[in-house]
Chain A
Amino acid sequence: MLSRVADSLYWMSRYLERAENTVRQLDVTMTLMLDSGGVNAEERWSRMVAALGNPEGLDWDGDLDSMARKLIFDSLCTSSVTYCINGARENARQVREEISTEQWQRLNRLYHQIHSPMAQTQFSSSISDVLLTTLDGIHLFQGVGDTTMIHGQGWQFIRLGRHLERAYATATMLEVYQPELFHSPGGEATGHQYLELVGLLRCCTAFEAYCQVYTADVAADRILEFVLLNRDFPHAIRYCVDSIRTAIQDIEHTGGRRSPVELNASVGRLHAMLGFTTIREVLDGDPAAFLHRIRQQCLAIHELIYRYYVQYSIQSALAA
């Protein structure tokens, strides 16, 4: 597969994953604002912005409506949902021949949807409808991709982009929220605390899955265990890293001329770190540092993907 094409598929996927994450966090934050519960709107907003990786230009101006509008529609704001969808579509447009027609049509429809005057009208009547429509669009795109695209290298790069973005975003979010998780008084969660914890789970669409594993008995350490270390839940960081690892293995198998030694090592280290650590060890140590290390590793993996698949030097390739 052409390096440029792999690059575009990877970013198409990352942008959509980013859009999805932003939509979900915004949805949860706005729902939580309905319950006063001690935390004021500004604080909540800044915390969400921090969890989104502190993008610029989203300082609280006192008006939730205009802030939300900006985060959804402002195509100049580099973290807005529209910006991400534009980015995904632009990347898809450059590799139009690699993705299936069904995929392109879904993405194109999502793009026209968010740019349509209808979306603005919908926003005025119900913000959460806009968010749900957008989520639906993204899910449809992903589903159609999985069922219509050949599961070759291109698909693996899409998978790589999705899970790397997700692992990084989830680690960022946990890093922002974890101080409060563990500094709240122990024992039975109060009504407001309960809502906060459930909100955190819902940010990763993890509430129902969590209940299946631990029952509705929500507790901070279990949440962390679930979102960080669960092997089977698609939004858990460990699951994402496992997917990254198999995607890279599959890419290596379909090509097979060069072995990405350092990349395998880097992913393997992260994989081992999440696979062979218990939540007790994380909590007894420094959870913030642990999460931070995950993010650093994700960044390193991104760099290595570029070095092996996209930006290698011609000399090294001719020598191989």
Chain B
Amino acid sequence: MHFVTGSLNFGKKALIEPMSAGHQVELQSLFGDYVLDRAFDEMREGNGDVRAHYRALAETLAGLQPEELQRRKQSADLSFLNQGITFTVYGRDEGTERIFPYDLLPRLITSAEWDRIERGLTQRITALNLFLRDVYSDAKILNDKIIPRDLVYSCKHYRRQMRGLQVPRNVYIAVVGSDLLRLDSGEFVVLEDNLRVPSGVSYMLTNRRVMKRTFPQMFSSYGVRPIEHYPQLLLATLRSLAPEGRPEPNIVLLTPGVFNSAYFEHTYLARQMGIDLVEGRDLVTHDNVVYMRTTDGLKRVDVIYRRVDDDFSDPLVFRADSSLGCPGLFNAYRAGNVTVSNAFGTGLADDKAVYAYVPRMIKYYLDEDPILPNVETYLLSEEKDRKHALANLDKLVVKAVGESGGYGMLIGPQSTAHQREEFARQIEANPRNYIAQPTLAFSRAPCLIGDQLEPRHVDLRPYVLFGDKINIVPGGLTRVALEKGSLVVNSSQGGGSKDTWVLE
């Protein structure tokens, strides 16, 4: 493959060589109604030029017949269906199992951009982990009045049971998936941190596998940094957190079971790591030791990679009506006989109101300025912020602080007056439960819609592993709001995904 030199123009301006006349027609028709406006476009500059690192992709697309592009798309889709790569949608009784929508075109990230993301996330996760350790021990940051005490103790994910408990290597958050957006300035910002049970990493890995088969030549000519070793890194991370004196730890993945929306991912990761996938009913505790039921009797469990929420993990300590967890698990954990990752109570640090204080945490613990900034956030428990937000509900995005997956959210500009009234009422009733942020014009990347390229909003969720050190595989899951104009990228709300290529 040859790379195009010089600038390429699309839209009304004429194409400059070296593309052949045939290619011009192809690209023109591919781009069709491609909208460029204030939002940052991953592929094209404001004047329509294709960005340098996207040129080889544009070339490849221009060189393909529409039928060939469709054929590759179908073969990729079929590959997802046959692999049973599906997720479950809540709130519908029929056909709850669906294929995860997948866009054929990769999202490209340059090595300079990635470098900044990597440093920024490392800094942020280090600070967040220090925060959790601090809050669950001496609470210095609260005593120094950097973060309001009320805010922490009123968080529904704060676990008083974690007070004074020593966790292995002081690592609370071993597996993190933070959501980044790119603003119109081209700068990446952190939208939220997922510190409980972040999901989606299996899609990152399967997308890559399908992509390599779909565009083998383009892939190899681009020089993409590999991500395939993620399961091995995860296993090493979990092993590094094993309780002392267990040199050959038995590591398991705890899943809520087959009805969980991320069940495919749980099975995928367990298989890729070669560890047992257990459900709560497979586990028993005796004398503060956790065992699993095997065909050969009971076998001791040392490390649990937990994909079950705090609430459902141990009915003796958390929600008593849960049958998903293992009674006695928390006591075994407290006794130091088993490591549970992520630790309990980490949701405190990804509370959307606590989020607003992360830049201050970074300053407090590391004495550094944040490399990746936050999105401007209004805390609705503060009267001034609340007044402003209530007066501007039609311009803001309102989120419930403890929710994830795109549930419990109001997008002002796309909402009805009735929805806004409803949210205003809920905010007045429980202001601590909500935050507001400006509606962001975050970046768009080209997607194959029908047989044309159209820009759709994308975010980026890199996956961070924290064991004896912090590891981030270069890339992550790019989620796409596949509906035109939509700003919601969650798979439960009509989002899809793309492979993410970090270039050498």
**A interface with B by C-beta (< 8 Å):** 1-6, 90, 93-94, 96-97, 101, 104-105, 108-109, 112, 153, 157, 251, 255-258, 308-310, 312, 314, 317-318, 320
Contacts and interface: CB of A to CB of B under 8 A. Distances in A.
A258 B296 contact: yes
Given A251-B295, A317-B298, A96 B282 contact: no
B278 A257 contact: no
A109 B281 CA distance: 30
Contact of A4 (B281, B296, B297): B281
Given A3-B293, A4-B282, A101 B277 contact: no
Contacts of A112: 81
B85 to A, nearest CB: 10
Nearest to B297: A317
Contacts of B293: 2-4, 312, 317
7 contacts: A94-B257, A96-B271, A97-B271, A105-B83, A108-B84, A308-B295, A312-B297
B264 A255 contact: no
Sorting the interface of chain B by its residue count into under 10, 10 to 19, 20 to 34 or 35 or more gives 20 to 34
Interface in B243-281: 257-258, 263-264, 267-268, 270-271, 276-279, 281
B398 to A, nearest CB: 37
A2 B278 contact: yes
B286 interface: yes
Contacts of B263: 93
Given A2-B292, A3-B295, A317-B298, 11 more contacts: A1-B294, A93-B258, A97-B268, A105-B84, A108-B83, A112-B81, A157-B295, A251-B295, A310-B295, A317-B293, A320-B297
Contacts of A257: 296-297
A109 B277 CA distance: 24
A97 B263 CA distance: 11
Contacts of B82: 105, 108-109
A280 B492 CA distance: 66
B135 interface: no
Given A317-B297, A317-B298, A2 B276 contact: yes
Contacts of A312: 293, 297
Contact of A255 (B257, B278, B295): B295
A314 B284 contact: yes
Given A109-B82, A318-B298, A2 B282 contact: yes
A76 to B, nearest CB: 15
Given A3-B282, A97-B270, A104-B84, A255 B277 contact: no
Contact of A94 (B258, B270, B298): B258
A96 B267 contact: yes
A308 B276 CA distance: 20
Nearest to B286: A318
Contacts of A318: 286, 298
B295 A314 contact: no
Given A94-B258, A96-B264, A96-B271, A1 B81 contact: no
A96 B84 CA distance: 10
A304 to B, nearest CB: 13
Contacts of A1: 294-296
Nearest to B283: A2
A3 B84 contact: no
Contacts of A2: 276, 278, 282, 292-295
A171 B277 CA distance: 37
B298 A314 contact: yes
B98 to A, nearest CB: 14
A233 B286 CA distance: 48
B271 A4 contact: no
Nearest to B271: A97
A309 B84 contact: no
Interface in B267-321: 267-268, 270-271, 276-279, 281-282, 284, 286, 292-298
Nearest to A104: B84
A318 B277 CA distance: 22
A263 B296 CA distance: 14
Nearest to A310: B295
Give the interface centre of A97, A101, A314 by most chain B CB atoms within 10 Å.
A97
